[in-house]
Structure 1
């Protein structure tokens, strides 16, 4: 199980959607998927946070506003880290959340297994 990250300049289109414009993949990360999935799976559910909503088995999309809100959860997530791989995963996630929040119209996609 792992969660990969993809930053797109627009909302990715699912097969049932029709649009003339295809969003462009800005960048992606496959490096820390396992560690990120471990941490997110341990988050308490039904809280005011956003990261607990990430599904490790399906894709989850965050727009810029949700990404900005999720950035506030990074310090708590870092406190939960028990190994270097997890710290690197959270730092990678933080960079993607910041870029999504700073790029109008962009979406951060959590690609689950």
Structure 2
């Protein structure tokens, strides 16, 4: 099981105009799923990521989730988890800084 992450310049499922993919992260899928399952705080944005379906975050959600990812990084127990969460933090920061963008977590 793994979770991939895609960053779009608009809503990837509801836009009248097709959203353009800005970045796709596929290198850390299993480690990211493991880190989120083991260490994400329940009730937070990252704790709500569905490992089996799609979860979307807009730019405001991404800004909040960035702080959660920073705390998550401190709780990771393997280098693979840490690399996955560092990649996640970069994507969350890019999403938060890009007006109208969306981040989608693509679960297995």
Using structure 2 for the length normalisation, give the TM-score.
0.93
CA distance in 2, matches of 1:76, 1:103: 23
Q: 2:30 aligned with 1:30, yes or no? A: no
Aligned-residue CA RMSD in angstroms? 1.3
In structure 2, the partner of 1:63 is 58
Q: CA deviation at 1:18?
A: 7.1
Q: 2:89 aligned with 1:89, yes or no? A: no
Unaligned residue ranges in structure 1 (runs of 5+): none
**Cα deviation per residue 1:62-105 (whole Å; 9 max; x = unaligned)?**
00000000011123211221111111001000000000000000
Query: Where do 4+ consecutive residues of structure 1 move more than 6 Å?
Result: none
Count of residue pairs brought into register by the alignment: 107
In structure 2, the partner of 1:103 is 98
Using structure 1 for the length normalisation, give the TM-score.
0.89
Unaligned residue ranges in structure 2 (runs of 5+): none
- Rg larger in structure: 1
